[in-house]
Structure 1
Amino acid sequence: MTSSSSDRPLLGRRSLLGLGLGLGLGASFALAACGDPGQAGTGGSAAGGTLKWGWALPTSWDPVFSSAGWDVHSLSLVYAGLTKLDEQGTAVPALASAWKFSTDGTSVTFTLRPGLTFSDGSPLDAAAVKKSLDRGRTEAKSLVAPQLTSVREVSAPDAQTVLLELSRPDYQIPNLLAGKTGMIVNPKAFESDAAGLATRPAGAGPFTLTSYTQNAKAVLRRNPAYWDASAIKLENFEVHPLPDAATVVAGLQSGQFDVAQIPGSQVAAAKAAGLEVQVIPSLVVAVLDVNVEKAPFDNPKVVEALKFAIDREALLKTQLFGYGEVNHQPFPKGYVGYDPASADLYRYDPAKARALLTEAGHPDGVDLTLTTTAAQGLPEQLQAQLKEVGIRATIDVVPAAQATQIVYIQHAKALFTDQFAGRDSAAQAFQVLFGEQGLMNPGRRTPPELAAAVEQVSRTPLDSPEYPKVLRAATALAVRTMPNTFLYSVPRLLARRKSVSPVPAFTAVQRFEGVTAS
Structure 2
Amino acid sequence: MTRTRTAALVAIAVAAATALAGCTGNAGGTAGGSTGGNSGGGQEITELKAGVFLDVTSWDPAIADIGFDGPYMSAVYDPLVALDNSGKPVPALATKWEWSADRLTLTADLRTGVTFEDGQKFDAAAAVANIDHLKKGVRSGQAYLNVSGATAKDEDTIEIKLTKRDDSLLYFMGLGRSWMASPAAIAAGSLANGPVGSGPYTFDKANSAPQSQYVFTKKADHWDTATYPFPSVKLFPITDQTASFNAMLSGQLNMQFANAANLAKAKENGWNVASKPSSWVGVQFADRTGAQVKALGEQKVRQAISYAFDSAGILQAVGNGSGTATNQLWPVDGGVYDKSMDTKYKTDMAKAKSLLAEAGYADGFSVKMPMSPIFQAWQPAANQTFGELGIKVEWVDMAMPDYQKNAPTYPMFLAVIAMSGNDMATLSDQVTTAQWYNPNPSVDKFPEVKALVDEVEKADEGAAQTELLKKLNTKLVDLAWWSVWYQADNTYFSVKGIKVQPVTGMMFPTLRFIQRG
Asked if the contact 1:431/1:438 (under 8 Å) is kept, the reply is no
For residues 275-306 of structure 1, give each alpha carbon's deviation from its aligned partner in whole angstroms, at most 9, with x where no partner exists: 51413223432243322154366433433322
Q: Alignment partner of 1:466: what SS?
A: helix
CA distance 1:214–1:314, change in 2 (3 Å): same
> 1:291-302 alignment to 2 at 5 Å?
291-292=286-287, 293-295=291-293, 298-300=296-298, 301-302=300-301
AA paired with 2:76? V
CA distance 1:365–1:514, change in 2 (3 Å): closer
AA paired with 2:398? V
Counterpart CA distance in 2 for 1:294 and 1:372 is 21
- Work out the number of aligned pairs and report it: 473
Counterpart of 1:419 in structure 2 is: 416
> 1:247-286 alignment to 2 at 5 Å?
247-272=243-268, 274-286=269-281
Within the candidate set 191, 211, 228, 1:197 is matched to: 191
For residues 26-57 of structure 1, give each alpha carbon's deviation from its aligned partner in whole angstroms, at most 9, with x where no partner exists: x99xxxxxxxxxxxxxxxxx994242323322
1:110 is aligned to 2:104:
no
Once the 2 structures are TM-superposed, how far is the Cα of residue 433 of structure 1 from its aligned partner?
Answer: 2.0
AA paired with 1:206? P
Once the 2 structures are TM-superposed, how far is the Cα of residue 157 of structure 1 from its aligned partner?
Answer: 0.7
For residues 148-174 of structure 1, give each alpha carbon's deviation from its aligned partner in whole angstroms, at most 9, with x where no partner exists: 232233111112212122223334332
Counterpart CA distance in 1 for 2:354 and 2:476 is 23
Counterpart CA distance in 2 for 1:287 and 1:511 is 28
Within the candidate set 234, 240, 249, 2:236 is matched to: 240
CA distance 1:395–1:197, change in 2 (3 Å): farther
Within the candidate set 156, 179, 188, 1:160 is matched to: 156
CA distance 1:129–1:290, change in 2 (3 Å): same
Q: Alignment partner of 1:55: what SS?
A: coil
Counterpart CA distance in 2 for 1:479 and 1:78 is 42
Once the 2 structures are TM-superposed, how far is the Cα of residue 110 of structure 1 from its aligned partner?
Answer: 1.2
Counterpart CA distance in 2 for 1:145 and 1:450 is 27
Asked if the contact 1:53/1:239 (under 8 Å) is kept, the reply is yes
Counterpart of 1:351 in structure 2 is: 350
AA paired with 2:424? A
Once the 2 structures are TM-superposed, how far is the Cα of residue 455 of structure 1 from its aligned partner?
Answer: 4.9
Cα RMSD for the two superposed structures: 3.3
Counterpart of 2:400 in structure 1 is: 400
Counterpart CA distance in 2 for 1:431 and 1:396 is 30
Once the 2 structures are TM-superposed, how far is the Cα of residue 103 of structure 1 from its aligned partner?
Answer: 2.3
For residues 190-219 of structure 1, give each alpha carbon's deviation from its aligned partner in whole angstroms, at most 9, with x where no partner exists: 2001xx434523333333443364443333
TM-score by length of 2: 0.80
Asked if the contact 2:71/2:511 (under 8 Å) is kept, the reply is no
Counterpart CA distance in 2 for 1:323 and 1:258 is 22
AA paired with 2:306? K
Counterpart of 1:79 in structure 2 is: 77
Q: Alignment partner of 2:191: what SS?
A: helix
CA distance 1:459–1:74, change in 2 (3 Å): farther
Counterpart of 2:36 in structure 1 is: none
Counterpart CA distance in 2 for 1:363 and 1:334 is 38
1:323 is aligned to 2:318:
no
Q: Alignment partner of 1:358: what SS?
A: helix
AA paired with 2:248? L
1:503 is aligned to 2:500:
yes
Q: Alignment partner of 1:304: what SS?
A: helix
Q: Alignment partner of 2:134: what SS?
A: helix
> 1:430-445 alignment to 2 at 5 Å?
430-445=427-442
AA paired with 2:79? G
Counterpart of 1:303 in structure 2 is: 302
Asked if the contact 2:48/2:234 (under 8 Å) is kept, the reply is yes
Counterpart of 1:429 in structure 2 is: 426
Structure (1 or 2) with the greater helix fraction = 2
For structure 1, the 5+ residue unaligned runs are 1-12, 21-26, 29-45
Counterpart of 1:471 in structure 2 is: 469
For residues 387-409 of structure 1, give each alpha carbon's deviation from its aligned partner in whole angstroms, at most 9, with x where no partner exists: 333334455443222322223xx
Asked if the contact 1:61/1:198 (under 8 Å) is kept, the reply is yes
Once the 2 structures are TM-superposed, how far is the Cα of residue 249 of structure 1 from its aligned partner?
Answer: 2.5
Counterpart of 2:40 in structure 1 is: none
For structure 2, the 5+ residue unaligned runs are 13-27, 30-43
Counterpart CA distance in 2 for 1:206 and 1:485 is 43
Once the 2 structures are TM-superposed, how far is the Cα of residue 128 of structure 1 from its aligned partner?
Answer: 1.1
AA paired with 2:53? W
Counterpart CA distance in 2 for 1:517 and 1:436 is 39
AA paired with 2:330? F
Counterpart CA distance in 1 for 2:345 and 2:157 is 49
Asked if the contact 2:328/2:473 (under 8 Å) is kept, the reply is yes
CA distance 1:165–1:68, change in 2 (3 Å): closer
1:56 is aligned to 2:54:
yes
Counterpart of 1:37 in structure 2 is: none
For residues 350-408 of structure 1, give each alpha carbon's deviation from its aligned partner in whole angstroms, at most 9, with x where no partner exists: 1222223334443223343352442442232333333333334455443222322223x
Counterpart of 2:8 in structure 1 is: 16
Q: Return 61-70 or 377-386, whichever deviates more.
A: 61-70
Counterpart of 2:390 in structure 1 is: 390
CA distance 1:206–1:252, change in 2 (3 Å): same
Once the 2 structures are TM-superposed, how far is the Cα of residue 318 of structure 1 from its aligned partner?
Answer: 1.5
Counterpart CA distance in 1 for 2:451 and 2:260 is 39
TM-score by length of 1: 0.80
Once the 2 structures are TM-superposed, how far is the Cα of residue 451 of structure 1 from its aligned partner?
Answer: 4.9
Counterpart of 1:38 in structure 2 is: none
Asked if the contact 1:271/1:277 (under 8 Å) is kept, the reply is yes
Asked if the contact 2:167/2:424 (under 8 Å) is kept, the reply is no
AA paired with 2:180? I
Counterpart of 1:333 in structure 2 is: 332
* Identity rate, percent: 22
Counterpart of 2:201 in structure 1 is: 207
Q: Return 69-78 or 151-160, whichever deviates more.
A: 69-78
CA distance 1:198–1:290, change in 2 (3 Å): farther
Once the 2 structures are TM-superposed, how far is the Cα of residue 94 of structure 1 from its aligned partner?
Answer: 1.5
Q: Alignment partner of 2:90: what SS?
A: strand
> 1:17-56 alignment to 2 at 5 Å?
17=9, 48-56=46-54
